[in-house]
């Protein structure tokens, strides 16, 4: 049984991770941790990570830096589902990978890596196509490209050498819809990944956490699970 602590346990995805850990027989919740603490969560100062095998984070970039400060002197592996890091914070994450296994992902949905691979393959097969990466998320998410969209558009731009158009939308309580549209004049090809519930992100993060335990120090990504 793998003991998992959740940092950002009161957030939308963090709550889903905690709920999942009460249902699965592969892992259990060691500590639920939030910024200010609640009746059911600890503050970071109160958490001691005793008995924790791996930490799952869904918080904020600044909170992740604080978490890593708190974990100094340990080699606990960490799953990071937070996005939006500054250049300095990204450098800190890379340096931290010398001391522990870190797996950082913008989208832990099962099937996302296959979706991304298909988009890249199609962009190679249709070099004449104009490409648009689209996203729809909940209305209160800031109106800026998500980590998922940034990653996809950057990888597509690198392969094609083209500027990738973005279509950013915010609607209701949408968990997450990602699209890649390739328009090559005589036809349009559209790929879509529609996440119906945030439990999809939680399930992928727990699967990644189980995989990360026992890995060597270093920086990992969700696609590494497919390669193993």
Q: What is the pLDDT of residues 14-35, one digit of tens each?
A: 999 999 999 999 999 999 999 8
CATH number of 2-108+199-227: 3.40.50.720
| Digit-coded pLDDT (tens) for 129-174 | 999 999 999 999 889 999 999 999 999 999 999 999 999 999 999 9
- Rounded average pLDDT over 120-136: 97
Alpha helices (H) in 34-167, listed in sequence order: 61-70, 87-96, 112-125, 147-160
**Letter string b/e over residues 161-195, b meaning 16 or more CB atoms within 10 A of that residue's CB:** eeebeeebeeeeebbbbbbbbbbeeeeeeeeebeb
Q: Tell which residue, 223, 206, 224, has the closest CA to residue 215.
A: 224
The rounded mean pLDDT for the chain is: 95
pLDDT at 94 over 80: yes
With a pLDDT cut of 90, the percent of the chain lying above it is 93
Superfamily of domain 112-195: Dihydrodipicolinate Reductase; domain 2 (3.30.360.10)
Domain with CATH 3.40.50.720 in the chain: 2-108+199-227
pLDDT at 72 over 80: yes
| Digit-coded pLDDT (tens) for 181-193 | 999 999 999 999 9
Residue 49 is predicted with a pLDDT of 94
Domain with CATH 3.30.360.10 in the chain: 112-195
Residue 214 is predicted with a pLDDT of 96
pLDDT at 225 over 90: no
pTM here? 0.89
């Amino acid at each position: 049984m793998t003991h998992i602590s959740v940092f950002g346990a009161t957030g939308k995805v963090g709550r889903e991770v905690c709920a999942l850990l009460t249902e699965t027989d592969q892992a259990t919740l060691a500590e639920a941790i939030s910024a200010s603490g609640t009746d059911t969560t600890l503050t970071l100062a109160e958490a001691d990570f005793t008995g924790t095998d791996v930490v799952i984070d869904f918080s904020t970039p600044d909170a992740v830096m604080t978490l890593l400060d708190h974990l100094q002197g340990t080699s606990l592996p960490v799953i990071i589902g937070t996005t939006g890091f500054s250049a300095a914070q990204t450098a800190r994450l890379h340096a931290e990978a010398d001391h522990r296994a870190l797996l950082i992902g913008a989208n832990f949905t099962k099937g996302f890596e296959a979706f991304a691979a298909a988009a890249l393959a199609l962009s190679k097969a249709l070099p004449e196509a104009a490409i648009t990466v689209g996203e729809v998320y909940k209305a209160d998410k800031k109106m800026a490209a998500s980590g998922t969209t940034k990653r996809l558009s950057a990888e597509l731009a690198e392969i094609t050498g083209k500027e990738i158009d973005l279509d950013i939308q915010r609607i209701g309580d949408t968990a997450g819809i990602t699209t890649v549209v390739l328009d090559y004049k005589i036809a349009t090809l559209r790929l879509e990944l529609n996440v119906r519930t945030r439990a999809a992100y939680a399930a992928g993060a727990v699967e990644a956490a189980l995989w990360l335990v026992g890995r060597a120090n270093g920086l990992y990504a969700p696609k590494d699970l497919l390669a193993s």
